[in-house]
Chain A
Amino acid sequence: MPDTLNQLLQSLNKRIVFMVSLILVIWLIFNALSGGYILRAENIANLFRQVTVVALLSIGMTLVIVSGNIDLSVGSSLGMFGALTAALITQVELNAVAAVILILCLGFLVGCLHGTLIHYFNIPSFVVTLGGLIAYRGVTQYIARKAIPIRTPWIKAIAQGSVPESASLLMAIIIIIILWIIIFRNRAMHSKANLHTQPLWIDCVKAIMISTLIAVFTVVLVNGEGYPVQVVILLALALIGTLIVRFTRFGHYVYAIGGNKDAAHYSGVSIATNIILVFGIMGLLAALAGIISISELSSAAPDIGDLKELEAIAACVIGGTTLAGGSGVIGMSILGALVMASIKNGMSMMGIVAQMQKVILGSVLILAVALDQWSRNTRKNRR
């Protein structure tokens, strides 16, 4: 038995196991300390709502950091795009669908502009986006100097509504089926290519474990209000992002550029196109995060998104993305965001004073990275 257990453990990705256990530990500690409120269905739904904006940003931020850059503007541009959306819908009285599409395109273009400035004008991304951080906050405060209310029901529903029960269940089932297909397709491909395949039972256990996890969460959420809409959006985008990174040329090039820009250049990778696209994606996600933020408040306020850029960077770093570029995984950054959101949620439930919350959050950031470095170093040493 210890042998088979060992075999199973060895086949698991240690970083994922580490992050997931870290999150579970955080939940259990706070659950115990707050008297059992953390693991209530209602709170789990709240927690996933609370993580969405930072997690969305961390998808794009992972790509930006992997490419060897940084984007400090996302918090402010999130605010700006949110305020613009509200202004377009409420003040200009533009059709809400058109406004949202327009803002998403604008977000993409502004991101592309960052990329262009960084690549063609040779300005460090830190500087370009620091400029954005300051300038876009000004624009936000100008547009939303008086908060702009939003009354469009479907926009409010993005952050305040939930997917109905039956649809939630259906989605969970589809996700589980896709999961099994992926796992067994991988197996088939591996054995076809005569690569080392793991024993069938290991893959089965893995698939069952993940399916159970999804099933449990779905049941818990459906018992509350169902999947929050914004969480569905997050999951979909996380999936799309992961697929892009794994299976498109663009995805591979981003890692190549971040790993060694010159080598990538001499291998014929177009640095310009890829960097501009990376920032374009970041801009698009910031715009989407802005729309979700105003949806949550049913209005745009001048300080929406303040400091969110740093939270997104912290999420990536906790998830193991190296700031030097070249390595990072989208799913892990989202787990990193969940770590921070869980701690915030737990501390808020306990009524810990805000000053202390900040001290703890800062310490956790450093501790998480220290732990990660420690485990990486020892792994390397053993080799």
Chain B
Amino acid sequence: MRKLMLILGIFAGILIISCGSNKKETKPDTLLIGLSMADLKEERWQRDRDMFIEMAKTLGAEVLVQDASGDPNMQMQQCDNMFVRGISVLVVIPKNADAAAPIVEKAHKKGVKVLCYDRLITNAEPDLYVSFDNVRVGEIQATEIVKLVPKGKYLELLGDPGDKNADMVHEGHKKALNEAISTGNIEIVMSQSCDKWLGSEAKRITEDALTRFSIDAIVASNDGTARGAIAALEAKGLTGKIPVSGQDADLLNCQYIVQGKQAVTVYKPIRKIAEFSAVAAIAMAKGHPVEGINTKVNNGLIDVPTAFLDPIPVTKDNIDQTVIADGFHSKEAVYQ
């Protein structure tokens, strides 16, 4: 009984405290941007977040960040929460292109505009899409590998089967490889999707491929999958002998490039997309026109106004002038 009274007492105490501190509201004139992220597990998304916040802050806006940990339902619910918090504009990195459609619908009901960051939301009417051209990314990956291995058996590691970007990268691969495939110079002996872009998936697939075929080159869709592939190559003592492509210029992969373990990664300067999006989001919140829209992308329902930014291939030869010169990674870290 005494315990129950104790609990009720604590409860009453908190009630009083909370009544006292209820007045703590955020300043009404600060612009609040909602940033809904699918997942923060990959190194790159943390950079996106940090650079986005940095830029928004210098422009005088506040950012509320949500990480859905890869759960599309959770992402939906977190966006609901942010609408209650009164965000003026919503920046979404959707976990799933289709499943995020109701987020756009709900945002518009609340009069909040939606910017799709790096990944397009399909079958909805988002207000802006900012990304690097992912078809170009795939094209660069395959082209760079073909430069090294113009003839031979290729393994193709694709991204998450639910991610539209993975499809676009795949399309780029096809664009670059089709000619060589039709002439018979190149044969794709295996092409598989890696769930959630996981390196472990890529490793398993590469191991299988190496057992069944003699592979000459690996076109991997991002650096996570490239790491998986390289781990599998390492176990067979094949690192450096079979070129591997990647995307994102993760630190470990940049090290692999200078060590000769990985042939190429496609660098999409995150600062560029983060800062562009922060500026665009604030313009949208204020009802100003967004500068830098250069194309439209059809998402199944409408042509979404799109700003495509340029990706850059990074090899041993130009890593100093790109990734390191940008301060994306320090020279010491890459050449450790």
- Interface residue ranges, A against B (CB under 8 Å): 6, 9-10, 14, 17-18, 21, 24-25, 28-29, 31-32, 34-37, 40, 42-43, 46, 49-50, 53, 141, 144-149, 156, 160, 293, 296-307, 345, 348-349, 351, 353-355, 358, 375, 378
| B 125-146 contacts with A by CB, 8 A | none
- The chain B residue with its CB closest to the CB of A29 is B14
Q: Are the CB atoms of A149 and B102 closer together than 8 Å?
A: no
Known: A25-B14, A351-B65. Is A141-B21 also a contact (CB below 8 A)? no
Within 8 A of A (CB), among B58-95: 64-73, 76-78, 80-81, 83-85, 95
CA distance in complex: A302, B162 (Å): 7
A9 touches B1 (CB 8 A): yes
How many angstroms between the C-alpha atoms of A46 and B110 in the bound complex?
Answer: 14
Which of A24, A34, A50, A349 is in CB contact (< 8 Å) with B11? Answer: A24
Q: Assuming A9-B1, A301-B99, A375-B3, is B40 touching A354 (CB within 8 A)?
A: yes
Q: CA of A305 to CA of B196 in the docked complex: distance in angstroms?
A: 15
**Beta-carbon contact of B70 and A9 below 8 Å:** no
Chain B's closest residue to A354 (CB) is: B67
Q: Nearest 9 CB-CB pairs, A to B?
A: A147-B98, A354-B67, A32-B18, A297-B99, A301-B96, A145-B161, A301-B99, A299-B98, A28-B18
Chain A nearest Cβ from B69, distance in angstroms:
5
- Docked Cα-Cα span, A376 to B8, in Å, equals 18
Q: Are A354 and B161 in contact (CB-based, < 8 A)?
A: no
Cβ contact within 8 Å between A6 and B101: no
Could you tell me the distance between the alpha carbons of A303 and B70 in the complex, rounded to whole angstroms? 8
Chain A residues whose C-beta falls within 8 Å of the C-beta of B235 in the assembled complex: none
Q: Do A297 and B73 touch (CB < 8 A)?
A: yes
Chain B min CB distance to A126 (Å): 24
Q: How many residues of B contact A (CB 8 A)?
A: 50
A144 to B80, CA, bound (A): 24
Where the two chains meet, the residues of B that have a C-beta atom closer than 8 Å to any C-beta of A are: 1, 3-5, 7-8, 10-11, 14-15, 17-18, 21-22, 24-26, 40, 64-73, 76-78, 80-81, 83-85, 95-102, 123, 161-162, 193, 195-196
| Complex CA distance for A144 and B99, rounded to whole angstroms | 11
B67 surroundings in chain A (CB, below 8 A): 353-354
Query: A238 to chain B: closest CB distance in Å?
Result: 21
Contact A293 B73, CB 8 Å, known A25-B14, A29-B18, A35-B24: yes
Q: Which residues on B sit within 8 Å (CB–CB) of A378? A: 3
B195 touches A141 (CB 8 A): yes
Q: Tell me the minimal C-beta distance from A183 to chain B in angstroms.
A: 21
- The binding surface of chain A is classed by DSSP as helix
Pick from B66, B67, B72, B195 the residue with the most CB of A within 10 Å: B72
Interchain CB contact (< 8 A) of A144 among B7, B100, B123, B162: B162
Question: A6-B1, A36-B25, A296-B73 given as contacts; is B195 within 8 A of A348 (CB)?
Answer: no
Closest chain A CB from B85 CB (angstroms):
6
5 A-B pairs whose Cβ atoms sit less than 8 Å apart in the complex = A40-B84, A144-B162, A298-B99, A299-B99, A354-B66
CA distance A186 to B100 in the complex (A): 49
Minimum CB–CB distance from A291 to chain B (whole Å) comes to 13
CA distance A25 to B18 in the complex (A): 10
Asked whether A296 lies within 8 Å of B102 as measured between CB atoms, the reply is yes
Find the B residue at minimum CB distance from A38.
B84
Are B123 and A149 neighbours in the complex by a CB distance under 8 Å? yes
Bound Cα distance A49, B74 (Å): 11
Which residues of the other chain, A, contact B71 by a CB distance below 8 angstroms?
A: 303, 306-307
**A378 and B3 alpha carbons, distance in the complex (Å):** 10
- In the complex, how many angstroms separate the beta carbon of B301 from the nearest chain A beta carbon? 10
**Known A28-B14, A37-B84: A298·B102 in contact at CB below 8 Å:** yes
Known: A24-B11, A46-B77, A49-B80. A303 touches B72 (CB 8 A): yes
Q: Would you call A9 and B73 a contact (CB within 8 A)?
A: no
Residues of chain B contacted by A301 (CB below 8 angstroms)? 72, 95-96, 98-99, 162
* A18 CA to B72 CA, complexed, in Å: 33
Give A36 to B22 CA distance when docked, in angstroms: 6
Within the assembled complex, what's the spacing in Å between the Cα atoms of A32 and B22?
A: 5
